[in-house]
Amino acid sequence: MGLGLLGSGCVIEDPSYLGPAGPTGTSDATGSTGPTGPTGTSDSGSADSTGSTDPTGPLHMTATDTGETATDTGETEDACPGWWDAGWSRRRRLVFDGAEVAEDLEAFTVLVTLDAATFDYDPVAPGGADLRFVDDDGTTVLGHHVERWDPLGTSLLWVRAERIDAGGAAHAWLYYGNDGASDGSDRAGSYDASYVGVWHLDEIRGPHVDAAAGIACAWQEGGGGTQDAAGRIGGASEFDGTDDIIECGVDQIPATDRATITAWVRLPLQGDLRQAVVSLESLDSPYAGLSLYVRRNDGAIGTQSNNGYVFSSQPSNMVAADQWAFLAVRSVRDDMRGTLEVSQNGEAWELIASGNTNDLGIEPGTPLALGKWPGRGANRAMDGTLDEVRISRVARSDAWVRAQYLSDTGALVQVEAEQAYCP
């Protein structure tokens, strides 16, 4: 085994090494040492003039060429500082970019995307069973689950990060390369206790099962919709605007005075009726509860309030036709008074109602449905595609909504180059 000494003093096993070091060790522009034994070149893992390496090679590392002589002292050193478990042969660092996040967030669930164009699936166990996400402390294993696994294309994973640092960068590690590992996925552990329902809507048949609490919701197709639609993140459900509905039953969501609903939608905006994206309204007057609506004629985001409906009047909270939009509504009720606010694409909350909102919040005995309010016919039915529905029993902050939008669009998490374990 050949050893090369980096500027940091970390000893790395070099699979391209073919001969002993020569008597001198001056550094050239490629980061290799001086005269050596038989030439040892690497087809895809050699360093370039910056000291970085091709991420497709068998050994991936970031090193600084200090110009020092590389010497094999024969001493045992900490070859892989901070390596979580020697049973895993590969790892990559994840960077959570909080540059656009205004406050620190804890136990925040992020989307991690792996693409065959930049990620080598070969060392990974089938189905991603050996994937482990570990906090930057080197010991805390983070809850995660796989929404979609495609070793020939793009895989989608959800990970509960310990924190997102406002204006800075937090880190975690993705470990893999252990064929003997058991499946490490944990759907419920991917979310904190404030989530009461998360539907990826990636199932192409059968019930849609919530990832946070296991609520199974039945798809009822009226004839024009489909469960097998292309979503903003993976698969989605498409509704025909007449009688398609996903019904989840009564009392599935705990009663609360504070709640947030978010969802991704793509709507043609045809007609002049309001359409229910997520419904948590009672079926009887005063129709208490919290729901997410979009008006068909102008795309305004709104909700139900005091036996009526309120919608945004701001262009920033009006959905554009046939484009994916991240929608959010939140309610706060204190002593029979409260507020209703809406947001689109991670922008600041807009207040649309306040005062005597005594029917706000999530009430006992309320039915939960996606794509339609079960108390009415087509005049409350959604026409379009729905993806990634999340319900929380807290009023999410501006920073949280912004970070969720950034995560869902791939702007929050960066997956760095592969590193190989070096015993």
What percentage of the chain carries pLDDT values higher than 70?
79
Provide the pLDDT for residue 173.
98
Q: ∠ at Cα 183 (182, 187), nearest 5°? A: 150
Residues 6+ apart with CB under 8 A from 208: 199, 201, 216, 217, 219, 227, 237, 246, 370
CB burial of 57-96 (b: ≥16 within 10 Å; e: otherwise) equals: bbbbbebebeeeebeeeeeeeeebeebbeeebbbbbbbeb
d(CA 423, CA 420): 10
pLDDT in tens, 283-314: 877 677 889 999 999 999 999 876 678 999 99
Provide the pLDDT for residue 223.
74
Annotate 301-362 with DSSP letters as a single string: EEEEETTEEEE--SGGGBPPTTS-EEEEEEEEEETTEEEEEEEETTPPPEEEEEE--TT-SB
pLDDT in tens, 223-269: 789 999 999 999 999 999 998 999 999 988 888 889 999 999 999 99
Q: Give me the phi and psi of 189, to 5 degrees please.
A: -75, -5
Query: Is cis: bond before 58, omega within 30 of 0?
Result: no
For each of the domains in the chain, give its residue range(s) and CATH number, in order of start: 1-79 (no CATH), 90-192+409-420 (2.60.40), 195-393 (2.60.120.200)
What is residue 54's three-state secondary structure? coil
pLDDT in tens, 167-182: 999 999 999 999 999 9
What percentage of the chain carries pLDDT values higher than 90?
64
Provide the pLDDT for residue 307.
61
pTM score, two decimals? 0.81
pLDDT surpassing 70 at residue 33: no
Q: List the 208-209 sheet strands across, edge first.
A: 208-209, 216-220, 245-250, 367-370, 274-279, 292-295, 301-305, 308-311
Q: Would you state the structure tokens that stand for residue 142, as one six-digit string?
A: 């983070």
d(CA 269, CA 338): 30
